[in-house]
């Protein structure tokens, strides 16, 4: 029982239902609680008349006396109820139980896209297919004049059949309802907002397109494109900064897919996709391996230099066991030097060590490390010389990009490292000025004993 003054100043006393397993709500029987968020608690229930599972979404008790929250909750049901589409969750009815409004909706047996992204890396073809279906659902909403305003992975459920369903139209704006799209409002989830949304400006369907671009980027990379340690930092990034290229996180990204993401994430609305159908059409072209129609390659290519991905495999020690430190030291130094360049994604040492004594083929290792280029080599030290062999392999073409062999006096190990780093840089056609600035291959350790520590 809760008693307090309502918005009109009158005392208002309400008794709100406490829900648990077995609770009867209309002709629905609660089975279990399956989710909760700021604007709702979701329960799995049985429709006792039709003998089917459904989902009941209740407004939390502490919000039940807030007229704004009650109106927004009802608006969610109204916005989604007019949308019949296989990629939008179906709304059956809206009602109230002991002071608590609730929505009866289709129960989707599956996982949220957010959880799936956290659990595993999705194949590109699956990502594009999911994105096309989500766009198709949004197209239906936009056609009906409904702007979702909170598109994000946690609001997309992937059913057991692999079909995505858009959920939670609680922040939806309906065309013609001016009070829902007024300026000064920043409703939504910060990390998935458009620039106009975070600035509190009036939004239209293009804001959903920007949010869809963020979801697509996150599906591909596992990372959000706009990050920060505070809301202010994230907002600054959304408004002012360009996302890292997709290839920094995942190799073999089609240039056409990068173009699509770039256009969806254009900060200027006029440069963004003007309809979700245009975005969907380009995704279908990417899926079929054709050039995209709506995202000009010149724009994307100018903003997105191609990022190479490389793994320096642990140099095999062909000498005495006591010389193992040489393999470790040179491998680590090479990784550090090449990482400094900044225009190339280099697998970290901790990942390389997992394959230190592996018998896996380099193609399999490259796939596990998500790189397209491998440096493989060996080192052997005798009393008179240190011999190092190395080859740079393009995994996609299975061609050697570069190979070399050196023999140097034992006290000239830093020079060997320099030869290796410079050879790799030249073979990959890296910008010489950038390589020089990063001091790649600089022989800092003049004493070979330094590799022991």
List active site positions. 150
Structure tokens at 291: 């050039």
Structure tokens at 330: 């040179």
Q: How far apart are CA 347 and CA 370, in angstroms?
A: 9
Structure tokens at 43: 């329960």
Closest by Cα among 135, 153, 166, 151 to 279: 135
Any idea what the Cα angle at residue 11 is, between residues 9 and 15, rounded to 5°?
A: 135
In a 3-state reduction of DSSP, which class is residue 98? coil
In a 3-state reduction of DSSP, which class is residue 176? coil
Q: Which residue has the tokens 């590799």?
A: 451
**Cβ–Cβ under 8 Å, residues 422 and 440:** yes
Q: How far apart are CA 446 and CA 452, in angstroms?
A: 13
Closest by Cα among 438, 443, 407 to 425: 438
Cβ burial of 155 (10 Å; 0-12, 13-18, 19+) is: buried
């Amino acid at each position: 029982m809760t008693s307090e003054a309502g918005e009109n100043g009158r005392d208002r006393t309400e008794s709100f239902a406490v829900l648990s397993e077995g609770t009867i709500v209309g002709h629905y029987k609660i089975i279990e609680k399956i989710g909760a968020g700021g604007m709702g608690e979701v329960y799995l229930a049985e429709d006792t008349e039709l003998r089917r599972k459904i989902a009941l979404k209740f407004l939390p008790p502490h919000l039940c006396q807030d007229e704004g929250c009650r109106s927004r909750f009802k608006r969610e049901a109204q916005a989604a109820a007019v949308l019949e589409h296989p990629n939008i969750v179906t709304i059956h009815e809206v009602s109230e139980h002991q002071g608590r409004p609730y929505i009866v909706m289709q129960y989707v047996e599956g996982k949220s896209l957010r959880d799936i992204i956290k659990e595993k890396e999705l194949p590109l073809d699956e990502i594009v297919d999911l994105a096309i279906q989500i766009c198709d659902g949004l197209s239906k909403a936009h056609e009906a004049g409904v702007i979702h305003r909170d598109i994000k992975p946690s609001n997309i459920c992937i059913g057991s059949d692999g079909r995505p369903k858009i959920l939670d139209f609680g922040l939806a704006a309906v065309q013609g309802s001016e009070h829902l799209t007024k300026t000064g409002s920043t409703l939504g989830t910060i990390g998935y907002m458009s620039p106009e949304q975070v600035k509190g400006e009036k939004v239209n369907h293009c804001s959903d397109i920007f949010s869809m671009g963020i979801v697509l980027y996150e599906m591909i990379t596992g990372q959000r494109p706009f990050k920060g340690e505070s809301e202010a930092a994230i907002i600054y990034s959304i408004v002012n900064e360009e996302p890292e290229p997709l290839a920094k996180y995942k190799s073999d990204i089609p240039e056409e897919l990068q173009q699509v993401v770039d256009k969806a994430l254009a900060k200027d609305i006029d440069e963004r996709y003007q309809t979700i159908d245009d975005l969907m059409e380009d995704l279908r072209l990417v899926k079929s391996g054709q050039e995209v129609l709506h995202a000009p390659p010149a724009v994307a290519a100018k903003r997105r230099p191609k990022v190479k991905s490389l793994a320096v495999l642990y140099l095999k020690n062909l000498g005495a066991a006591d010389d193992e430190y040489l393999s470790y030291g040179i491998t680590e130094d090479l990784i550090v030097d090449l990482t400094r360049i900044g225009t190339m994604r280099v697998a970290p040492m901790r990942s390389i060590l997992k394959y230190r004594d592996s018998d896996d083929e380099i193609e399999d290792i490259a796939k596990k490390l998500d790189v397209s280029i491998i440096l493989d080599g060996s080192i052997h030290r005798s009393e008179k010389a240190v011999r190092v062999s190395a080859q740079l392999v393009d995994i996609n073409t299975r061609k050697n990009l570069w190979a070399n062999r050196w023999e140097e006096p034992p006290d000239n190990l830093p020079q060997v490292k320099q030869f290796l780093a410079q050879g790799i840089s030249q073979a990959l056609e890296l910008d010489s000025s950038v390589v020089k600035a990063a001091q790649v291959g600089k022989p800092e350790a003049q004493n070979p004993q330094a590799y022991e520590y």
